[in-house]
Amino acid sequence: MTSTERTGTTTPAPADPAESGVVAELSTLDRYLAVWILAAMALGLGLGRLIPGLNDALAKVELGGVSLPIALGLLVMMYPVLAKVRYDRLDAVTSDRKLMASSLAVNWLIGPAVMFALAWLFLPDLPEYRTGLVIVGLARCIAMVIIWNDLACGDREAAAVLVALNSLFQVVAFGLLGWFYLDLLPGWLNLGESEHLDISMWKIALNVVIFLGVPLIAGFLTRRIGERKLGRERYEAGFLPKIGPWALYGLLFTIVILFALQGKTITSQPLDVARIAVPLLVYFAVMWFGTFALGKAIGLAYDRTATLAFTAAGNNFELAIAVAIATFGVTSGQALSGVVGPLIEVPVLVALVHVSLAWRRKFTPAA
């Protein structure tokens, strides 16, 4: 599937038919995505730093601990992509036992363990930041991964299934794994002080319902009603290109709001941010490249390998930040670690989209 089909924008044919490189894979809107994202991050940080009280004002617009501006951005971001999913093909994904088992193992066994190890390795003297990183590692991605997967030409149906699977496990396993990695395991290993994570299953479930349930239902109903009225061909060729660009608009809006909320915190503690950033960079690299290698080793096609890698590397920053603030306070080191998470994750995963597309161009035969 081409990038034009994915985002709904038109890519002019290159003047040289032999033109190569990742840029040729991307639509006009997509090819400067890294620039737009960096600009959105800078804008958000600048607004949060320069406008007194902006972060407090934005933080007050929330429901049940969920930021409504961020929720709006994520819903706008996810809806167009989930409206593109061909839900009648999901059975082919759920029957792929290698994909399903690998995703569960990487997300709920390997991912949290890797973050725990890196947090203790790089931040042995900073327990608050270390705890915050562990919380980030426990919050598996259910939102932005949809965008990264789509840009990398991953399997859209597989992404929908794996994100839904992560969501179910998140409700059940987040609190249990928090107790294991923050309270029980440090004691077993004689690592010193432990932390107690106080978070209700209801709050996690609310997070899942808002950030996945609402856009998933909207996307599913749009697909069903649209195909019934227009037919699949007209729905995909006529309607989807009109809503496609809104996914990236929603992404950029979310990034601006997120960094406006935490702009003052990030810019006032640059050395602490740098300390937190190092294990995060290692984490994203280990998770993405390791999972991509796993996908190829077990014989998955490129599209499902990319999906597996992005769902493993991404994290649910909104849940991690909400849990850290609710448990330890808005000015805590744990909350700062949660905030630094997307600061590092967003540009790194954009870069990995390019890495993924480069692999696809070089090693995957054209359909």
pLDDT reported for residue 142: 77
- Domain residue spans of the chain: 30-359
Phi-psi region of 182 (alpha: psi -120 to 50; beta: other; left: phi over 0): alpha
Handedness of CA 330, 47, 73, 249 (dihedral sign): negative
pLDDT reported for residue 201: 67
pLDDT reported for residue 286: 97
Greatest alpha-carbon pair distance for the chain in Å reads: 63
The residues facing 62 across adjacent strands are 67
pLDDT reported for residue 66: 67
pLDDT reported for residue 2: 43
pLDDT reported for residue 195: 67
Kindly state the tokens that stand for 159.
Answer: 């992404």
pLDDT tens for the chain, 367 residues long, are 444 445 444 444 344 333 344 444 445 566 677 788 888 888 988 888 888 777 778 777 777 666 788 788 888 888 888 888 888 888 888 889 999 999 999 999 999 999 999 999 999 989 899 999 999 999 888 777 888 998 899 999 999 899 888 888 888 888 888 889 988 888 888 887 666 666 666 777 777 777 778 888 998 999 999 999 999 999 988 998 888 888 888 888 888 887 787 777 777 778 888 999 999 999 999 999 999 999 999 999 999 999 999 999 988 887 787 778 777 776 678 888 888 888 888 889 989 999 999 999 988 765 5
Query: Are 263 and 86 in contact, with CB atoms under 8 Å apart?
Result: no
State the Cα–Cα distance between residues 223 and 141, nearest whole angstrom.
24
Instruction: Give the CATH fold of the 30-359 domain.
Output: Na+/H+ antiporter like fold (1.20.1530)
pLDDT reported for residue 77: 83
Query: Are 304 and 158 in contact, with CB atoms under 8 Å apart?
Result: yes
State the Cα–Cα distance between residues 307 and 145, nearest whole angstrom.
9
The residues facing 140 across adjacent strands are 315
On whether the pTM is more than 0.85, the answer is: no
